[in-house]
């Protein structure tokens, strides 16, 4: 399944990030806890370079807790500063604020000794579309400061938000990259909603999803879609059976594959199938030049 998407405003976003980086103390890279590999834009590290960075994994409430613990151990072994959050409920927000203060503590202490006036920590939040940047900002700020939406590309322009006397946040539009080197990356992004449904074949996408879930989470699939046996069934067959069980039938008794695909994708994204993670630490391959990020500000 070939998925490619690089609209014009993505190139503009890359320029926005690069141009505003010099004003920023700490970068928050927001990933999707269900797909930590696929939701990591490989261009971010080359843009951010040596700026202190915190890797924040959002939608942790939708991810498999056991696998998230595996990811936590993996990130620690790599020296990453990481925090798992739920930006809608606010879980992990206090921990994130504390981490920002910790990273900047030494720098502000040096500034104080030099007689420099205290200023807020300037933070840039970066990530792919629909990963929850605006929801995170609203939770950190404790108010509705940023435009949010459940469709990719809602945040179009940069905007500074004053959280309090300690923290300023720079929200930026979501940024994807020009080409997915690994087909699985594009598929994972499409499954979780980072790529708009109207530019992909949702039937093929959902067939792939069901086949993968039948291997990784068989009991969840059987329970949710009342499929008695998954043995030797391909994704398309599973999709057809789920469609029959849910009554997605058109004239002639045929399954409405478009309708059942939309239902399954919606239920996966809403956590109704259960807590699911599509990638494990064993899937990760660090990009050449990727650096560890648990360091203090210069």
Number of domains in the chain: 2
Question: What is the DSSP secondary structure assignment for residue 96, as one 8-state letter?
Answer: H
Q: What's the pLDDT score for residue 195?
A: 84
Tokens matching residue 295: 């360091």
Same domain flag for 64 and 17: yes
Same domain flag for 157 and 195: no
Whether residue 65 is predicted with pLDDT greater than 80 in this model: the reply is yes
Please enumerate in sequence order all residues whose Cβ is within 8 A of that of 19, keeping only pairs 6 or more positions apart, or say none: none
d(CA 42, CA 28): 15
Beta strands at 159-162 and 167-171: parallel, antiparallel or unpaired: antiparallel
Whether residue 287 is predicted with pLDDT greater than 60 in this model: the reply is no
The CA distances from residue 285 to 30, 136, 216, 279, 290, in Å, are 18, 27, 21, 12, 10
Whether residue 209 is predicted with pLDDT greater than 90 in this model: the reply is yes
Question: Which has more confidence, 103 or 35?
Answer: 35
Distance of CA 227 to the CA centre of its chain: 30
Please enumerate in sequence order all residues whose Cβ is within 8 A of that of 46, keeping only pairs 6 or more positions apart, or say none: 289
Whether residue 11 is predicted with pLDDT greater than 90 in this model: the reply is no
Kindly report the CATH number assigned to the domain that includes residue 209.
1.10.1580.10
Residue 291 located in a structural domain: no
Of residues 150, 143, 168, the one with CA closest to residue 159: 168
Same domain flag for 13 and 161: yes
What mean pLDDT do residues 249-267 have?
A: 95
Same domain flag for 157 and 264: no
Of residues 2, 8, 36, 47, the one with CA closest to residue 182: 2
The CA distances from residue 42 to 71, 213, 235, 289, in Å, are 18, 26, 30, 10
Q: Using a pLDDT cut of 70, give the percent of the chain over it.
A: 81
Same domain flag for 147 and 203: no
d(CA 211, CA 234): 6
Average confidence score pLDDT of the chain: 82
Tokens matching residue 264: 């399954």
Residue 121 located in a structural domain: yes
Kindly report the CATH number assigned to the domain that includes residue 165.
3.40.50.300
Q: What's the pLDDT score for residue 273?
A: 96
pLDDT band at 6 (very low <50, low <70, confident <90, very high): low
Same domain flag for 173 and 217: no
Same domain flag for 165 and 191: no
The annotation places the binding site at 58-61, 130-135, 174
How does pLDDT run across 167-176, given as a tens digit for each residue? 888 876 666 6
Q: Which of 178, 211, 240 is the last residue of a domain?
A: 178
| Helix, strand, coil distribution of the chain in percent, nearest 5 | 45, 10, 45
Q: What's the pLDDT score for residue 268?
A: 97
Residue showing tokens 């007689």 = 115
Residue 81 located in a structural domain: yes
d(CA 241, CA 188): 23
Residue 1 located in a structural domain: no
Against a cut of 0.85, is the pTM above it? no
Specify whether the CB–CB gap between 16 and 173 falls below 8 A. yes
Residue 80 located in a structural domain: yes
Residue 204 located in a structural domain: yes
Question: Which spans in 38-92 are helix H?
Answer: 44-48, 65-78
Q: What's the pLDDT score for residue 60?
A: 95
Enclosing domain of residue 67: 8-178
The annotation places the binding site for GTP at 58-61, 130-135, 174
Same domain flag for 174 and 30: yes
Residue 136: count other Cβ atoms within 10 Å of its Cβ.
28
Q: Which of 178, 199, 218 is the last residue of a domain?
A: 178
Same domain flag for 172 and 29: yes
């Amino acid at each position: 399944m070939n998925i490619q998407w690089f609209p014009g405003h993505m190139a503009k976003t890359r320029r926005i990030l690069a141009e505003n980086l010099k004003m920023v103390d700490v970068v928050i890279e927001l990933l999707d806890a269900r797909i930590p590999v696929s939701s990591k834009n490989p261009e971010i590290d080359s843009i951010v370079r040596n700026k202190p960075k915190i890797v924040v994994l959002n939608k942790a409430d939708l991810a498999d807790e056991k696998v998230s613990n595996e990811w936590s151990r993996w990130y620690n072994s790599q020296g990453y500063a990481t925090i798992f959050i739920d930006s809608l409920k606010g879980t992990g927000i206090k921990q994130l604020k504390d981490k920002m203060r910790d990273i900047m503590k030494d720098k502000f202490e040096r500034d104080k000794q030099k007689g420099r006036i205290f200023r807020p920590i300037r933070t840039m939040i970066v990530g792919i579309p629909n990963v929850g940047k605006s929801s995170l900002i609203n939770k950190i700020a404790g108010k509705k400061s940023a435009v949010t939406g459940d469709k990719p590309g809602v945040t179009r322009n940069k905007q500074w938000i004053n959280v309090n006397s300690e923290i300023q946040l720079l929200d930026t539009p979501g940024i994807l990259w020009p080409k997915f080197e690994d087909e699985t990356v594009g598929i994972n992004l499409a499954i979780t909603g980072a790529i708009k449904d109207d530019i992909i074949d949702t039937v093929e996408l959902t067939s792939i999803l069901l086949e993968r879930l039948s291997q990784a989470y068989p009991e969840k699939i059987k329970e949710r879609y009342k499929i008695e046996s998954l043995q030797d069934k391909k994704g398309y067959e599973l999709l057809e059976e789920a469609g029959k069980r849910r009554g997605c039938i058109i004239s002639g008794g045929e399954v409405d594959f478009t309708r059942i695909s939309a239902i399954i994708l919606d239920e996966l994204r809403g956590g109704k199938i259960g807590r699911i993670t599509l990638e494990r630490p064993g899937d990760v391959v660090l990009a050449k030049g990727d650096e560890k990020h648990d360091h203090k500000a210069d």
